[in-house]
Amino acid sequence: MNYKKLGNTDLDVSTICLGTMTWGEQNSQEEGFEQMDYALEQEINFFDTAELYAVPPKKETYGKTEEIIGNWFHERKSREKVILATKISGNGPSWIRNGGFQYNEKNITEAIEKSLARLKTDYIDLYQLHWPERKANYFGKLGYQHQNKEEEWNDFEKILIVLNKFVTQGKIRHIGLSNETAWGLTKFLEISKIKNLPRIASIQNPYNLLNRTHEVGLAEISVREKSGLLAYSPLASGYLSGKYRNGQMPKNSRMDLFFEFWPRYRTPNAEKVIDEYFKISEKYNLNLAQMSLKFCEIQPFITSVIIGATTMEQLKINIESVNVNLNDEIIKDINNIQKIYPNPCP
């Protein structure tokens, strides 16, 4: 396994992070336990979850994933072996603290205390804001339109002050952002420096061969400010494994079960671009999923690549990507496809 520093912290995290959002929906607790056991055996020390999970989100499964992880910590006595990341949901579902803006002292306090209880732990290593509360472009949105009379949203400085209280108490160690923009990350970093408040250690955004938009503005910030990317959806919801090529729809796959929930990777050019990457993997005798994951892992602005699997076979293939070598010729071929079809699924 490979490791990198989490931002400017003293934590060394595995460059493969175990994603968990299917546990409690597509995966049972037993299957989640098996995945965590195997990941730990493979020297993965970084797990990512969220209070919102399982996904697709619904009231009945809210918090289930954290509960499964907590039960595993309790049974395996393995809490100290894991660097644990979770998230507080922003302005979103009505079943989470009655909806509305969440990043205030009352809601952050409730969210942290309940996550700690579900996770059966005294502390969270990385606590992330799941998405911006303000009007911003995330989850694939394009064409930002500013509202001069926009709704009020929680002030960044006030958020950091609240989070600092929990850092001081030892209940969270570090903080991060998710689905955030270059402006948002920059403002948080600026305020933390000026006011001597907790610093953003990471940003968790989508990054894969179909969506390399992080490279445009955020990559420079990630490197210069040591606030690295935790890349989610590195296989584009499974499309970059090749399993949906040529109209295939494997039974009980994510798209088979929840087709309408993930439209992001069904754009006009997506299928032909996936085929082009598949040809590259065949040319160099590589597994498409492993090639796609390794391309993410080697980027200098990436701290860790978050993998998600519903079967042990998938998990083993994904983790084995750390041992793949992408030479200059392979990288050149991949970049040539990006030049012809830039970011078909932003």
**Residues with active-site annotation:** 53
* DSSP label of 229: E
Structure tokens at 9: 């912290």
Identify whether the C-beta of residue 255 lies closer than 8 Å to the C-beta of residue 264.
no
Please give the full DSSP string across 142-191, using - where no structure is assigned.
Answer: -S----TTPPP---HHHHHHHHHHHHHHTSEEEEEEES--HHHHHHHHHH
Task: Write down the H helix ranges in the chain.
Answer: 29-41, 64-76, 105-119, 156-169, 182-195, 218-224, 254-258, 270-283, 288-297, 312-319, 328-340
- Within 10 angstroms of residue 141's Cβ, the number of other Cβ atoms is 11
Residue 170: name the closest of 236, 221, 121 by CA: 121
Structure tokens at 78: 């393995």
By three-state DSSP, how is residue 77 classified? coil
Cα–Cα distance measured from residue 230 to residue 219, given in angstroms and rounded to the nearest whole number? 12
Tokens 């929840």 sit at which residue? 258
